[in-house]
Amino acid sequence: MAKKDGKKTAAFFDLQKKDYSKCLHGAFDCEREPIRAHSIQNAKVLDLLQKDNHVRTPLGKIKGGEHPEFEFGLIGRNNASTFTGLCSKHDTELFNLIDTEPLDVKNFYQLYQLAYRSLMRELHTCLEAAFRFQIAHIENVEKGITKKGQPDGPGLAAVVFFTKAWRVFRYREKHFHDKLQLGHYAIELKDQAPTVAVSSFFSVAFDENEDIIGPLFNVVPLDATNTVAILSYPQEHKAEIKAKLPKVFEGADNKKALSHLILQRVENFVLSPTFYDGWTAQKRTNVLKFFNESIFEPAEPPEGQDLLLF
């Protein structure tokens, strides 16, 4: 990247510090102050993963390349996986079962709440990105960098993320009013130390109306020796999701398939620093390279490399 682009790059990363805070419950008419809530539970899950009250998570860095790059940086547990998309009242109402009781993979209502939290976090993330880029566009107009009414990079990016948010909203309205619409596929990992946690929503395809076909994906360490991975999806999407993710649903090596899926399609995950510290330098390089190669489209896992997150 040329030196003349340095100010633009710095401005882009400064933009990431601007928060979008709004309770996104229901019809978006709640005026209560949003709280900074954890999409991955702090007291239960992060407590099992943390070391000195920190976890590792993908963090964007300025490295001067053509594309954004990430590294697995340390972050305080109180700031990990948070979003400001719900007020305290609605956060408590929506997620009371998973916040107050141990997770039971046979409890349909808990699995629904777990999936819904991932969806709400994704809705907020898309709206926040649109908000940030729109601010950058407005500032460019005010500074005379962009003419009023003329599209620029930040303005176009704002439209892209608002469109993503619109699709997530449509998914919510179509599939989350009836709990019975959702199916859940749980993979229980026994004798598994806590190493990674996930709260995510991603697409595997789009239908004829350009609506999202995809699962909500959570990985939850339950205690010191048990972890569960759960994919939740509308029943009408089940066949297509299984066809797109055959190694997850039908593969013989669950830990390998789940590790590849996380690195290919998830940005909201945390790693145990203790587990990460045990990796060789080569494994750290390989895992990070594969993750960065999958930022825009899932890359093919290289043969013979240890990319396990469990």
Per-residue pLDDT tens digits of the chain, which is 310 residues long: 344 455 544 544 454 455 689 999 999 999 999 999 999 999 999 999 999 999 999 998 766 556 678 999 999 999 999 999 999 999 999 999 999 999 999 999 999 999 999 999 999 999 999 999 999 889 888 889 899 988 898 899 999 999 999 999 999 999 998 777 899 999 999 999 999 999 999 999 999 999 999 999 999 999 999 999 999 999 999 999 999 999 999 989 999 999 999 999 999 999 999 999 999 999 999 999 999 999 999 999 999 999 999 9
Angstrom distance (rounded) from CA 28 to CA 166: 13
Structure tokens at 73: 């940086």
Same domain, 27 and 144: yes
**Structure confidence at residue 67 (pLDDT):** 67
Same domain, 93 and 140: yes
In a domain, 303, yes or no: no
Same domain, 165 and 190: no
DSSP state of 51: B
Which sign, positive or negative, has the C-alpha torsion 23, 82, 211, 92? negative
Same domain, 80 and 45: yes
Structure tokens at 91: 């956060």
Same domain, 19 and 123: yes
Neighbours of 62 (CB within 10 A): 13
Tell me, what amino acid is at 203? S
Q: Which residues are 196's β-sheet partners? A: 271
In a domain, 262, yes or no: yes
Angstrom distance (rounded) from CA 272 to CA 286: 18
Question: Can you give the pTM of this predicted structure?
Answer: 0.91
Structure tokens at 262: 């996380």
Same domain, 188 and 162: no
Same domain, 171 and 189: no
Look up the domain containing 157 and give its range: 14-59+76-179
Same domain, 49 and 110: yes
In 3-state terms, what secondary structure has residue 187?
strand
How many domains does the chain fold into?
2
Angstrom distance (rounded) from CA 145 to CA 151: 11
Same domain, 22 and 160: yes
Q: How many helices (H) and strands (E) does the chain have?
A: 10, 11
Give me the residue label for tokens 């620029």: 152
Angstrom distance (rounded) from CA 134 to CA 271: 32
Angstrom distance (rounded) from CA 252 to CA 248: 9
**Where in the chain does DSSP place strands (E)?**
34-38, 54-61, 69-76, 82-87, 182-190, 196-201, 205-206, 212-213, 216-221, 226-234, 269-271
Same domain, 102 and 151: yes
Residue 234's nearest CA partner among 218, 248, 216, 219 is 216
DSSP state of 146: S
